[in-house]
């Protein structure tokens, strides 16, 4: 489940400022429901253990200063590119440090909620290798992709279209 979706289901103890506000209303609605909101959350996320693990992964992002987003609108294009590269490098380090599964990596990536230079590798290049490569090619290239020892891109041409049309 993505971090964006998880953010839509905050912990049941959320309260507004001074004990008033949306948190109080949300808690009151949860208490008045004919079902347990915690059980529903656990069902939605595939169990309490899976939800707790997802929260641990989300906290890796939330507690990492390099992933802050509040100041990105004040940066130049070059600075945003450099920050994206820095975030990508730290993300890969965290994948390795915490031995994150593919699903946990996806949770982390979605929690960051930002386009990174690695996006094309993860969303287009690697799936193409997984779907289109021979078994021998998969054996060689997929581990390199998953360990980020290579980072790929994707290009496509259409005969009779584009810059080579005469």
Q: How far apart are CA 106 and CA 53, in angstroms?
A: 13
| Dist CA 159 CA 149 (whole Å) | 32
DSSP output for 8-76: TS--TT---GGG-SHHHHHHHHHHHSSS-HHHHHHHHHTSHHHHHHHHHHHHHHHT-GGG--TTGGGS-
Which tokens sit at 76?
């130049």
pLDDT digits (tens, 9 = 90+) for 104-126: 998 998 888 888 888 888 889 99
- Confidence band, pLDDT 50/70/90 cuts, at residue 142: very high
Contacts of 66 (CB under 8 A, 6+ apart): 83, 86, 87, 90
Instruction: Please give the DSSP secondary-structure letter assigned to residue 121.
Output: I
103 membership: H or E segment, kind and range: helix 102-112
At 114 the pLDDT is 83
CA distance 77 to 132: 35
Mean pLDDT, rounded, for 60-82: 87
Cβ atoms of residues 112 and 142 within 8 Å: no
Look over the chain and give the mean of its residue pLDDT values, rounded to a whole number: 83
- pTM of the model as a whole: 0.68
Q: pLDDT value at position 19?
A: 53
pLDDT score, position 1: 45
Q: In the prediction, which pLDDT does 20 show?
A: 56
Backbone angles phi, psi at 36, to 5 degrees: -85, 120
Q: Which residue has the higher pLDDT, 27 or 135?
A: 135
Tens of pLDDT, residue by residue over 5-47, are 445 445 544 444 555 566 778 888 888 888 888 899 899 999 9
């Amino acid at each position: 489940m993505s971090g964006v979706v998880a953010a839509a289901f905050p912990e049941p103890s959320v309260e507004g400022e001074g004990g008033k506000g949306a948190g109080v209303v949300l808690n009151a609605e949860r208490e008045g429901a004919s079902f347990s909101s915690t059980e529903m959350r656990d069902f939605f996320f595939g169990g309490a253990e899976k939800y707790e693990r997802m929260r641990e992964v989300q906290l890796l992002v939330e507690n990492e200063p390099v992933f802050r987003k509040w100041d990105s609108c004040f940066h130049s294009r070059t600075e945003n590119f450099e920050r994206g590269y820095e975030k990508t490098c730290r993300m890969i380090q965290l994948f390795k440090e915490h031995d994150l599964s593919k699903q946990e990596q996806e949770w982390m990536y979605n929690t960051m909620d930002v386009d990174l230079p690695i996006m094309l590798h993860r969303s287009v290049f690697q799936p193409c290798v997984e779907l289109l490569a021979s078994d021998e090619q998969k054996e060689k290239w997929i581990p390199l992709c998953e360990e980020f020892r290579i980072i790929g891109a994707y290009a496509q041409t259409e005969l009779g279209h584009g810059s080579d049309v005469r």
